[in-house]
Amino acid sequence: MVTDRLEDLHEIESAVWRELEAAPARREHGWRVGVLATTDGTMGDARSVVLRDVDTGARTLIVYADSRSPKAAQIQAFPQGTLVLWSAELSWQLRLRVMLGLETTGLAVSSRWARLKMTPGAQDYLSPLPPGTPVARPAPERGSREHFALLTARIAAIDWLELHADGHRRAMFDERGPQWLAP
Ligand SMILES: Cc1cc2nc3c(=O)[nH]c(=O)nc-3n(C[C@H](O)[C@H](O)[C@H](O)COP(=O)(O)O)c2cc1C
């Protein structure tokens, strides 16, 4: 947890990554659930997602998804997205410009599925019906085939906004280096 108001942009950037790394394992961390915005080329779309893992070295976040979901199709056609995270505890918003990818095979997918399939969370990826299919009633159905996929989000730019009674602050962290912005 960051308590003092950091002044140095490099320290703020490091703190952002520390908080991102901590978020998946802390249920109460505001950044564990965010809103992922994508496009189908005509309309914007957005939905809540859970942050499952953060690879700071690769600047990549991992989210789980059903490979048949509309977001999966959107991402394959239009990989540019934005992930918005808000932590009331930190008073920090992140707008992450991300390059999205979908992995349905490979070791990263199979090792995570091996762990997940023993848990109630596995049900989310076992439905016989693709997400969004019209149904007569909301009865959960369980199929046998998994549709588990990893959604990867490589961070291209971090737009950081801090809300504060003494004045809000905003900064951009991208390939040009850290830069203060008018909030
Ligand atoms: C708190 C919360 C967390 C969610 N986390 C995920 C998630 O990690 N992955 C996911 O695919 N859907 C998640 N959902 C469901 C999505 O928001 C969405 O309803 C669903 O994935 C269908 O999205 P799509 O039609 O854009 O593919 C979550 C919903 C809520 C309310």
Two tokens at 180?
A: 């203060």
Q: Is the beta carbon of 131 within 6 A of some atom in ligand 1?
A: yes
Q: Is the beta carbon of 65 within 6 A of some atom in ligand 1?
A: yes
Read off φ and ψ for residue 108, nearest 5 degrees.
Answer: -60, -40
Q: Is the pLDDT of residue 4 over 80?
A: no
- Which ligand 1 atom lies nearest to the CA of residue 65? 11
Residue 3 pLDDT level (bands cut at 50, 70, 90): low
The pTM score is 0.94
List helix spans (H) across 23-106.
70-77
Task: Give the pLDDT score at 161.
Answer: 98
The pLDDT tens digits of the residues spanning 73-107 come to 999 999 999 999 999 999 999 999 999 999 999 99
Q: Is the beta carbon of 22 within 6 A of some atom in ligand 1?
A: no
Task: Give the pLDDT score at 122.
Answer: 87
The pLDDT tens digits of the residues spanning 13-72 come to 999 999 999 999 999 999 999 999 999 999 999 999 999 999 999 999 999 999 999 999
Using the mean position of ligand 1's atoms as its centre, give its distance from the Cα of residue 72 in Å: 11
Q: Is the pLDDT of residue 157 over 80?
A: yes
With 0-12 CB in 10 A as exposed, 13-18 as middle and 19+ as buried, what is 152?
A: buried
The pLDDT tens digits of the residues spanning 141-150 come to 776 678 999 9
Q: Is the beta carbon of 75 within 6 A of some atom in ligand 1?
A: no
Using the mean position of ligand 1's atoms as its centre, give its distance from the Cα of residue 165 in Å: 33
Using the mean position of ligand 1's atoms as its centre, give its distance from the Cα of residue 66 in Å: 9
- Which ligand 1 atom lies nearest to the CA of residue 69? 27
Task: Give the pLDDT score at 1.
Answer: 52
Task: Give the pLDDT score at 56.
Answer: 95
Closest CA to 13 of 183, 140, 182, 175: 175
Mutate to test the pocket of ligand 1, among 29, 39, 45, 48 (most ligand atoms within 8 A of CB): 48
Two tokens at 121?
A: 């969370």
Cα–Cα separations (whole angstroms), residue 88 to 50, 83, 94, 99: 17, 17, 12, 26
Q: Is the beta carbon of 33 within 6 A of some atom in ligand 1?
A: yes
